[in-house]
């Protein structure tokens, strides 16, 4: 409390510690920020625990939310000032899918971080189709074509094969759909123009929403046969002995965008200094998480394990946060980039990230009608606000907190995210030609198709 009073006084005098001199005092210093209990909320926890919010004159309350809808509604109504969001949420809201609201993001929270897990029974049925590597363990990446005979067997028995994902506009939904379709399985279509938002039209595999912390128990109960989720909930299935992660999203698309920090456009316009100070604190937290080859990750694991953040066992969180990933029990492999928070310019909100999400919304019918390439470009620029990020980054460079080498060239176009690998199906992502990209898939809507 004493530190808060001293810091508040320094703000009044314009003497804020590490804050950039050209950024004025926060218009709203007292903030409530929301998050879901996942390891990729780490920049928020670290910014609080390391005092980065306080350095910016921000007095932040972090509050866990029950699910992604509750979180989004909280930001829209103003109950929350901002939140850890699915990368597709600002886009989905802005184009009016589900909920209409002008949400923007000027900060990408992380790359990678998800996995696809199946039940032990399903794994036993898949395993005969999976070749072994030199050590006798399953060869990765595992194609969804190995799941296809299992799905067909369920269908022959008159049963639906069900899998969970966390939200209709989540990375998890699109990654799971991408993996299934690459293996010849149709994950189904949405038809919002006809009032059908189930996403199961023509589906070989029926996907449904399950909150992340409930994934393992839902799998154990047999309600679903598998799921796609962020950590620590894939590793929790291994820890509990109820399921096997078959693939990580790093294997589906290396260095794919994952979560973002979102606010309403109105909030950003009314609180520009507060927004910049939030971004400065979050950028510093992301840098802390990755600096010196992840030297701080053990401390980060201890922070995240606390009940107010993720609340899972340290051992479970460490499985992925410290550069390894466990598939079957005992099959631990090095995945140094499973969680990336800062390197590879992870925090920059590249327009190409937005275009990929929009392309998948169109592919599966959430955008029911064809849009021009220009529409994709315009929407990406309006929602993913690189201009605001650049202002925060420049202030960190100018006051010596970080160096120019920590960021991409801030005077360049910075349209397409660098350091990304090839997608699992080998289809080249062409963000400047989104319609050509959408039309290149064997499974999915094309051209003027409507579901």
Task: Of 308, 329, 307, 309, give the one whose Cα is nearest residue 319.
Answer: 329
Asked if 450 contacts 196 with a C-beta cutoff of 8 angstroms, the reply is no
Q: Phi and psi of 76, rounded to 5°? A: -65, -40
Alpha-carbon distance values, 364 to 19, 35, 38, 88, 276 (Å): 44, 27, 26, 14, 35
Strand, helix or coil at 196? strand
Alpha-carbon distance values, 361 to 249, 251, 356 (Å): 18, 21, 9
Whole-angstrom distance, CA of residue 332 vs CA of residue 315: 13
Whole-angstrom distance, CA of residue 395 vs CA of residue 397: 5
Whole-angstrom distance, CA of residue 207 vs CA of residue 177: 9
For residue 1, what pLDDT is reported? 37
Asked if 248 contacts 258 with a C-beta cutoff of 8 angstroms, the reply is no
Please report the DSSP string for 85-100 in residue order: EETTHHHHHHTTSSS-
For residue 22, what pLDDT is reported? 84
Q: Which residue has the tokens 């960190």?
A: 396
Asked if 34 contacts 74 with a C-beta cutoff of 8 angstroms, the reply is yes
Strand, helix or coil at 164? strand
State the virtual CA torsion across 423, 424, 426, 428 in degrees, nearest 10.
-20
* Six-digit token string for 239: 């820890």
For residue 314, what pLDDT is reported? 95
Task: Of 108, 135, 47, 177, give the one whose Cα is nearest residue 342.
Answer: 108
Helices (H), 311-398: 314-321, 351-363, 373-383, 386-398
Asked if 231 contacts 317 with a C-beta cutoff of 8 angstroms, the reply is yes
Task: Of 25, 22, 20, give the one whose Cα is nearest residue 9.
Answer: 25
* Six-digit token string for 407: 């960021």
- Record the pTM: 0.94
Asked if 110 contacts 45 with a C-beta cutoff of 8 angstroms, the reply is no
The residue length of the chain stands at 451
Centre a 10 Å sphere on the Cβ of residue 72 and count the other Cβ atoms it contains.
27
Centre a 10 Å sphere on the Cβ of residue 374 and count the other Cβ atoms it contains.
9
Spatial CB neighbours of 328, under 8 Å, sequence gap ≥ 6: 123, 137, 138, 238, 244
Strand, helix or coil at 447? coil
Terminal-residue alpha carbon distance, the chain: 57
Asked if 261 contacts 174 with a C-beta cutoff of 8 angstroms, the reply is no
For residue 97, what pLDDT is reported? 95
Q: Which residue has the tokens 């946060």?
A: 321
SS3 content of the chain, % helix, strand, coil (to 5): 45, 20, 40
Spatial CB neighbours of 226, under 8 Å, sequence gap ≥ 6: 116, 117, 118, 119, 122, 163, 164, 219, 243, 246
Task: Of 137, 321, 145, 359, give the one whose Cα is nearest residue 230.
Answer: 321
Strand, helix or coil at 450? coil
User: Which residues in the chain land under pLDDT 50?
Assistant: 1-21
Is it true that the peptide bond before 141 is cis, omega within 30 degrees of 0? yes
For residue 319, what pLDDT is reported? 87
What's the CA angle centered on 163, arms 438 and 90, to 5 degrees? 50
Listed in order, strand segments (DSSP E) in 317-392 are 324-326, 332-334, 339-340
Helices vs strands, H then E, count in the chain = 19, 16
């Amino acid at each position: 409390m004493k530190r808060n009073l001293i810091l508040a006084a320094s703000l009044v005098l314009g003497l804020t510690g590490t804050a950039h001199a050209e950024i004025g005092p926060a218009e709203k210093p007292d903030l409530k920020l929301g998050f879901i209990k996942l390891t990729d909320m780490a920049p928020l926890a670290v910014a609080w625990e390391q005092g980065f919010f306080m350095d910016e004159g921000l007095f932040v309350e972090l509050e866990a939310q029950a699910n992604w809808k509750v979180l989004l509604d909280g930001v829209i109504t103003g109950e929350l000032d901002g939140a850890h969001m699915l990368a597709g949420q600002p886009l989905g809201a802005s184009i009016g899918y589900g909920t209409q609201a002008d949400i923007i993001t000027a900060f990408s929270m992380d790359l990678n971080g998800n996995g696809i897990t199946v039940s032990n029974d399903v794994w036993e049925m898949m395993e005969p189709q999976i070749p072994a590597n030199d050590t006798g363990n399953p060869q990765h990446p595992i194609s969804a074509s190995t799941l296809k005979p299992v799905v067909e067997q369920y269908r022959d028995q008159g049963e639906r094969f069900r899998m969970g994902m966390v939200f209709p506009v989540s990375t998890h939904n699109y990654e799971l759909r991408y993996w299934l379709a690459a293996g010849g399985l149709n994950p189904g279509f949405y038809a919002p123009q006809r009032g059908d938002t189930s996403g199961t039209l023509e589906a070989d595999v029926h996907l449904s929403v399950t909150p992340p912390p409930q994934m393992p128990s839902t799998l154990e109960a047999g309600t679903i046969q598998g799921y796609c989720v962020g950590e620590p909930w894939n590793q929790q299935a291994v820890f509990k002995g109820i399921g096997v992660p078959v693939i990580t999203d790093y294997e589906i698309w290396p260095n794919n965008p994952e979560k973002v920090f979102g606010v309403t456009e109105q909030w950003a316009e009314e609180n520009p200094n507060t927004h910049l100070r939030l971004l400065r604190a979050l950028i510093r937290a992301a840098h802390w998480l990755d600096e010196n080859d992840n030297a701080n990750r053990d401390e980060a694991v201890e922070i995240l394990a606390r009940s107010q953040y993720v609340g899972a066992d340290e051992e479970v969180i460490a499985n992925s946060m410290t550069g390894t990933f466990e598939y079957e029990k005992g099959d631990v492999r090095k995945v140094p980039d499973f969680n990336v928070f800062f390197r590879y310019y992870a925090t920059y909100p590249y327009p190409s990230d937005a275009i990929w999400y929009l392309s998948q919304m169109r592919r599966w019918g959430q955008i029911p009608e064809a849009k021009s390439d220009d529409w994709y470009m315009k929407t990406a620029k309006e929602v993913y606000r690189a201009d605001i990020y650049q202002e925060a980054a420049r202030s960190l460079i100018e006051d010596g907190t970080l160096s120019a080498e920590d960021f991409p060239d801030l005077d360049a176009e910075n349209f397409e995210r660098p350091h990304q690998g090839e997608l699992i199906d080998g289809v080249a992502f062409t963000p400047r030609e989104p319609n050509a990209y959408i039309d290149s898939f064997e499974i999915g809507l094309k051209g003027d198709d409507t579901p």
